[in-house]
Structure formats: structure tokens, C-alpha cells
Amino acid sequence: MDNITASELAGFGVGTLLLCATIAAPKIDSFISASQRSSLGMCKRCGDLRLIACSTCRGIGAVKANGPIRFDLLDDVLQTLGGSGSDARTTRCTKCQAKGHFPCPDCSAS
């Protein structure tokens, strides 16, 4: 890596900006949606649904037996396409008691 050209340096800069934007996108989205909800007079957390999805099972009520995150891409694709994939067992989510959601703490208090 003797000399770095200007186009390579620009590529690194653009890649860095895209990575930062990807990481920050969920936080920016939640900030904008909370401000929109408050301007409409709705609950900032749940949008007057009075329920919040479980962060562990993402509202499904079950997690994979090996944990919430697995990197078996082929199995996930096969299950999505309707195939059997491997027999990945699911267990009940212990955080939400397999309901998939919690009552909103802001709405439930009032």
C-alpha cells in the first residue's frame, strides 16, 4: 500500500459515511416517530396501541432454542420459502411469557 489514490480515499470516506448512516438509522427513525406521535397527541412509546413488542422475541412469543440470534442463512431461506430447513426448535419466550408484548408503561400508569 505505497500510494493511495484520491478515488480510493473517496471510496473509504463514502463507505464510512454509509456505515455510520446504517448504524444511526434506527435511532433517527425512533426519534422522528416519537416527535410525530407527540405532535399528534399520541403516546410517544406505543402510539396509543397500549402495547409494546417484546425485544427478545420481537413480538412472536417464541425464540429459537439456540438463542434469539442464529447465523444459519440457508435454514432461514428454506423456512421462508416453505421448506423444512433443519428442525430448529423454538421455545417460549421467558421475558414476555410467550405473549409477544408488554403493556405500555406510559399508558398503563395513567
Residue 25: which domain range? 7-109
User: What total of structural domains would you count in the chain?
Assistant: 1
98 within a domain of the structure (yes/no): yes
44 within a domain of the structure (yes/no): yes
1 within a domain of the structure (yes/no): no
32 within a domain of the structure (yes/no): yes
96 within a domain of the structure (yes/no): yes
Question: What span, in angstroms and rounded, lies between the C-alpha atoms of 28 and 55?
Answer: 18
Residue 10 has pLDDT above 90, yes or no: yes
28 within a domain of the structure (yes/no): yes
The β-bridge partners of 99 are none
Note the pLDDT tens digit of each residue in 21-47.
999 998 998 899 888 988 998 988 888
Parallel, antiparallel, or unpaired for β 62-64 and 90-92?
antiparallel
2 within a domain of the structure (yes/no): no
70 within a domain of the structure (yes/no): yes
